[in-house]
Chain A
Amino acid sequence: DQQVKQNSPSLSVQEGRISILNCDYTNSMFDYFLWYKKYPAEGPTFLISISSIKDKNEDGRFTVFLNKSAKHLSLHIVPSQPGDSAVYFCAAILYQGGKLIFGQGTELSVKP
């Protein structure tokens, strides 16, 4: 039972354009969402997060949008750069214990 889903295993974008990575969840009790970026053979690094009481959070080129009614969040990267090429995981926190539930990941490839 996958509570957090990233239905696109891969995405290819031209440098300078917008990258949009999507994530859907099923549990309305999640109260915090995060995006992590992962390069091969390395651990994920935290990118950006959003609380369930907000619908948008922005940090430089990265913006996360949350649509609670649709149980959907998305990560926008503008403008996309070749160094953004990595696997992106969305994750949700179920309760105060900080137990993260991850999606399957989307591999982003930004082409020069």
Chain B
Amino acid sequence: DGGITQSPKYLFRKEGQNVTLSCEQNLNHDAMYWYRQDPGQGLRLIYYSQIVNDFQKGDIAEGYSVSREKKESFPLTVTSAQKNPTAFYLCASRPPNQPQHFGDGTRLSIL
């Protein structure tokens, strides 16, 4: 089954800890994206990657970091510098000239 897998679905962390959200795709897509969704604000772009070993900041990159060492994987680290990390995080990938496909998201809660 081809798709985008985000794990875990729910994640809890203590304040001040870094946490890494997983995103894996077996669709052979070059481009991958991370968004955050907050109530009433839609989806906002955190980071995106057009190709392996390359990534760019989105609109709200502060307090986040990513890596793209493999085509299939685009993990997002939420660092302790992120002031309001509790949110629903969505990963997406995209084939050339086609719409983005989304994973089912990870809900991160900071205790």
Contacts and interface: CB of A to CB of B under 8 A. Distances in A.
Contacts of A98: 31, 94, 100
B42 A44 contact: no
A102 B104 contact: no
Interface SS majority for chain B: strand
Bin the interface of chain B by size.
Answer: 20 to 34
A112 interface: no
Interface in A58-112: 89, 91, 97-105
Contacts of B101: 46
Interface of B: 4, 6, 9, 31, 33, 35, 40-45, 48, 50, 58, 90-92, 94, 99-105, 107
Interface of A: 4, 6, 9, 34, 36, 41-46, 49, 89, 91, 97-105
